Structure 1
């Protein structure tokens, strides 16, 4: 049981570290996209002064920059919300881990006490039986009962360990699904930004006369 709890804790810490790296990379990407948007606006703003309709050109460049910056801000807000939820989930998992550890310790103490009580009863029964003859059938029945009790204890311990392993696997599957969803969202967002950055045919400068 203690080994299973240790494995669960290690998996939890690894998931937290991976989530922190993921959000850090996402923030770096947003910052890079914002710098690119500002750089693109500066270039477009400068190019506008080489055109006839300077004011309209500058307005369009500002509108494009606002759209990109607004989208990046929405991504940043979503990332902040995701981090808050992750921190809340981590705190909840820590509380659950501590509660589970306390319950396991209490259960372990109860099992140890029950085993000690059972051993004491068996010793008293053996001392009492030793004072009078015991039939072969009674000895066989007593041995069978003791073996059955041992099997029941072993089966209970195996089931508890299996339940913990299934729970840890479910947590891992849920975390991996969230990571996959986040990656798909980032890919779609980057695709939309890339499409917006492609200049329309009407925005291209007219060809120079020979």
Structure 2
């Protein structure tokens, strides 16, 4: 179960490796949807593992291990989400700067 969870995360995370020909907002939206799907898969694996823990003698230790695995699997997604946030902030700053440049008069004489 543990190996399959990490294999799924590794396979799904390869889609974030390079930006496609989509525009920045579209790319960010698509990547956020992909991250959400990956989180759902990880959550489903965690719930399955947690449910299986209740059949064992050491329930608390098993649940703790399942939570550790979930945190370890979610950390790369968190990092990808932070990277997307930074890209979105950069894109918005660029768009704002372009709008402000368009509002500036052509003759930039200082008073």
Q: What is the aligned residue count?
A: 86
The answer to whether 1:89 aligns with 2:104 is no
Note the 1:32-71 alignment, pairs <5 A: 32-71=37-76
**Aligned with 1:81: secondary structure?**
helix
Root-mean-square deviation (CA, aligned residues, Å) is 2.2
Q: Which residue of 2 aligns with 1:74?
A: 79
The answer to whether 1:30 aligns with 2:58 is no
Whole-Å separation in 2 of the counterparts to 1:89 and 1:20: 12
Q: Which residue of 2 aligns with 1:21?
A: 26
TM-score (norm 2): 0.64
TM-score (norm 1): 0.36
Q: Which residue of 2 aligns with 1:177?
A: none
Structure whose CA Rg is larger: 1
Note the 1:127-166 alignment, pairs <5 A: none
**Aligned with 1:50: secondary structure?**
coil
**Aligned with 2:75: secondary structure?**
helix
Whole-Å separation in 2 of the counterparts to 1:23 and 1:61: 30
Whole-Å separation in 2 of the counterparts to 1:95 and 1:53: 62
How big is the shift at 1:21? 0.8
Q: Which has the higher contact order (CA 8 A, sep 6+)?
A: 2
For 1:96-151, what per-residue CA distance to the aligned partner results, in whole angstroms no more than 9, with x for missing partners?
Answer: 3555xx64xx8xxxxxxxxxxxxxxxxxxxxxxxxxxxxxxxxxxxxxxxxxxxxx
How big is the shift at 1:94? 3.1
Task: Show structure 1 runs of 5+ residues with no match.
Answer: 1-16, 107-210
Whole-Å separation in 2 of the counterparts to 1:44 and 1:74: 24
Which has the larger share of helix?
Answer: 1
